[in-house]
Amino acid sequence: MDQRDEFWWRHGIFYQVYPPSFQDSDADGVGDIRGIIDRLPYLLQLGVDALWLSPIFPSPMADFGYDIADYTGIDPLFGTMEDFDALISAAHASGLKVILDLVPNHTSDQHPWFAESRSSRDNPKRDWYIWRDPLPDGGVPNNWLSEFGGSAWEHDATTGQYYYHAFLAQQPDLNWRNPAVREAIYDVMRFWLRKGVDGFRVDVIWHLIKDAEFRDNPPNPHFREGRPPHERILTQYSTDQPEVHDVIAQMRRVTDEFEARILIGEIYLPLHRLVAYYGNDLGGAQMPFNFALLSTLWSARSIETIIADYERALPAGAWPNWVLGNHDRPRVASRVGPDQARVAAMLLLTLRGTPTLYYGDEIGMHQVAIAPDQVRDPFEKNVPGLGVGRDGCRTPMQWSAADNAGFSTATPWLPVPDDFIHENVVNLEADARSILSLYRALIKLRKELPQLVSGDYLPIAAEGDLLLYRRQSEGKAVVIALNLGAEPVSMASDAAGLDGEILLSTFLDRQGEKIEGVLDLRGNEGAIIAK
């Protein structure tokens, strides 16, 4: 990949690495930077273009790195700054980009900034965080709730005020209305950009600005028992405030100081609100992450509607993107089932827009059941019994049938499932029809066909479990036909314009087959047809 290509992210494929679980190089049971370097050849063979690394900064690990104690260091658990420099060098030499997680909404309570802020009410950094007086009865300032359970306000006995934390009490929120906070984070961004990182995925970017009046959030009329307790209220005043877009525009200007960099936003919002994060005149995030496929009903009509709504909502000139899995959501193979996981792969890699893969999805890793005594996720510990734990999608990468799936010679920080003996990279590489072989074939085909990257998306009317669309560019087209059901489907191909030659089936066994008059798909099968 051309390192100077300003729009590389439009035709690139992103791959999220969760560092503790990718590859352990020093036998402590936790993945590290050297392990990632060792596995770069695998990623090159897979065909991805950019690595996004979840946090590797110094942290007490209350939330596994999303509680940062030093924004410009490397946690010894993952290695050294020299290791990171070596990763950047090796990745760039191979044509791979490197994206870092930026976590600007909150720090660790062990960060020196917070130590100063909580030391006294008149400390110069007091206003770097969000402090409020108790109510007259001594109660919390408002009804805002932590996403990890309980009130979002923590009382500080030393100064007699409460500080706000959208997540753990060990993760106090920064005050993004303070210009000094903004400049400090922008300097952090410049530090890593000078080191050669190719951009940032900004954690919970829609949380950065809170209501200036700290009004109570309204109740959620659609709350259901059995859901996490923070969903009892709507985050009307604690997230997605209008002023956040000024902050994002400033962040974008920082990345634009450097050549060919990208700003990605983590945003869990409905599509019509998500697209505002592209910014006025597209001066916001180049890719506000579109998570619609993570929570939709897995049916042809639901997905068809989501695609149409998203395409319709995109501002002029905005570039779409799609995500099937990440470190916070159950594995796609468990959400849709192992058979449909192949169809999901074809969907992800043939839709218009940049795809993001989550490590292990390409080998069909499933959600792992975690025994109570092995739970590491603070969300699960704080809100037990609701199945909200994220450990099950963060288990070690299954490289081989060796001990601990080839991830480590020590006991891993999270367990590997019993199926790693068969479901691992080595075995799946040897199987020409495995899901790993499918991912590689899809990525290869995507790189060969411009219409799959830059072509228009044109829906084709279909019924039942069949999802049909055309990708068309400069007079050339391919049709994608996906059966989202377990039963075979058959339809007249000439009327729908489906006649042609199969380039790829999700079963990897119909290449070159001619479609004339009738298209037949087996249950759980997808096909790419050249017109």
Measured CA to CA, the distance from residue 202 to residue 124 in angstroms comes to: 27
Q: Which pair of structure tokens corresponds to residue 134?
A: 């108790």
* Residues 123 and 116: beta-carbon distance below 8 Å: yes
Measured CA to CA, the distance from residue 48 to residue 308 in angstroms comes to: 27
Please pick, among 82, 257, 259, 431, the residue that the annotation labels catalytic.
257
- Bridge partners (DSSP) of residue 323 are 356
* Residues 21 and 397: beta-carbon distance below 8 Å: yes
Question: How many C-beta atoms lie closer than 10 Å to residue 318's C-beta?
Answer: 18
Query: Measuring CA to CA, which residue among 322, 471, 331, 325 is closest to residue 395?
Result: 331
DSSP state of 21: G
For residue 257, indicate whether it is catalytic. Answer: yes
Measured CA to CA, the distance from residue 10 to residue 15 in angstroms comes to: 14
Please pick, among 203, 377, 380, 391, the residue that the annotation labels catalytic.
203
Kindly report the length of the chain: 531
Write down the residue that tokens 């100081």 correspond to.
Answer: 257
Query: Measuring CA to CA, which residue among 284, 375, 367 is closest to residue 330?
Result: 367
Burial class (CB in 10 A: 0-12, 13-18, 19+), 367: buried
- Bridge partners (DSSP) of residue 233 are 219
Q: Could you please report the per-residue DSSP string of 301-326?
A: HHHHHHHHHHHHHSPTT---EEES--
Measured CA to CA, the distance from residue 425 to residue 326 in angstroms comes to: 19
Measured CA to CA, the distance from residue 271 to residue 69 in angstroms comes to: 33
Measured CA to CA, the distance from residue 278 to residue 260 in angstroms comes to: 17
For residue 203, indicate whether it is catalytic. Answer: yes
Catalytic residue positions, numbered = 203, 257
